[in-house]
Amino acid sequence: MTDLVAVWEVALSDGVHKIEFEHGTTSGKRVVYVDGKEVIRKDWMFKLVGKETFTVGAAQTKGTINIDAVSGFAYEYTLEINGKSLKKYMENRSKTTNTWVLNLDGVDCRVVLEKDTMDVWCNGKNMETAGEFVEDGTETHFSIGDHDCCIKAVSSGKRREGIIHTLIVDDKEIPEAVE
């Protein structure tokens, strides 16, 4: 018998991670799985409410599951990433990263640009890049297999929009993914 009470999907630069939480409301058991791997197990606890903290992904991002009593024997489970609710974290993340999903040679690729560091990730691997200044902005070059890739950064000309990042693979523009 399983006590699985919550499952979340968290998109980080190194990929989408699945977080599962088991909570035995009779035994107080708490088990946290990240990507199918058990990271926390407490088999017997008298206190049924509280929190469990763990790390997710290559960057060891902090995750916290909050367990709160709603009424009687009903509980609410919320996930925080880096101290923010999952919703707030993902909203903030969409401002600090760009994500593209494409298929190259029959393999799905998820390319993420971290705008603050200009780090580029592809399927969980931090890519080796070369940046250069060009007439209308900058270009960050890298390769995925035999494919030439480039992220162009150009000013939108509007202060509120800021810089527009475009992924170009083999001279074709790739539309940005919505996560």
108 belongs to a structural domain:
yes
Q: Is the pLDDT of residue 177 over 60?
A: yes
Q: How confident is the model at residue 88 (pLDDT cuts 50, 70, 90)?
A: very high
Residue 62's Cβ-side half-sphere holds a number of Cα atoms within 13 Å equal to 8
179 belongs to a structural domain:
no
Structure token digits, residue 4: 């699985």
**The pLDDT value given to residue 48:** 85
Q: Is the pLDDT of residue 6 over 70?
A: yes
88 belongs to a structural domain:
no
For tokens 């297999």, the residue is 145
Are 12 and 74 in a shared domain? yes
Range of the domain at 98: 93-174
Q: From CA 35, how far away is CA 20, in angstroms rounded?
A: 8
Neighbours of 33 (CB within 10 A): 18
**The pLDDT value given to residue 150:** 98
**The pLDDT value given to residue 99:** 96
| Residues above pLDDT 90, as percent of the chain | 82
pLDDT digits (tens, 9 = 90+) for 93-110: 988 999 999 999 999 999
Q: From CA 14, how far away is CA 110, in angstroms rounded?
A: 9
Are 74 and 47 in a shared domain? yes
Name the domain count of the chain.
2
| Residues above pLDDT 70, as percent of the chain | 99
**The pLDDT value given to residue 42:** 94
What is the per-residue DSSP string for the chain? ---EEEEEEEEETTEEEEEEEEE-TTT--EEEEETTEEEEEE---S--SEEEEEEETTTTEEEEEEEEEEETTEEEEEEEETTEEHHHHHHHHHHHEEEEEEEETTEEEEEEEETTTTEEEETTEEPP-EEEEETTEEEEEEEETTEEEEEEEEE-S-TTT-EEEEEEETTEEEPBP--
pLDDT digits (tens, 9 = 90+) for 47-57: 889 999 999 99
Instruction: Provide the CATH number for the domain around residue 43.
Output: 2.40.128.180
pTM for the whole structure: 0.85
**The pLDDT value given to residue 1:** 52
Q: Is the pLDDT of residue 123 over 80?
A: yes
Are 161 and 118 in a shared domain? yes
Are 73 and 97 in a shared domain? no
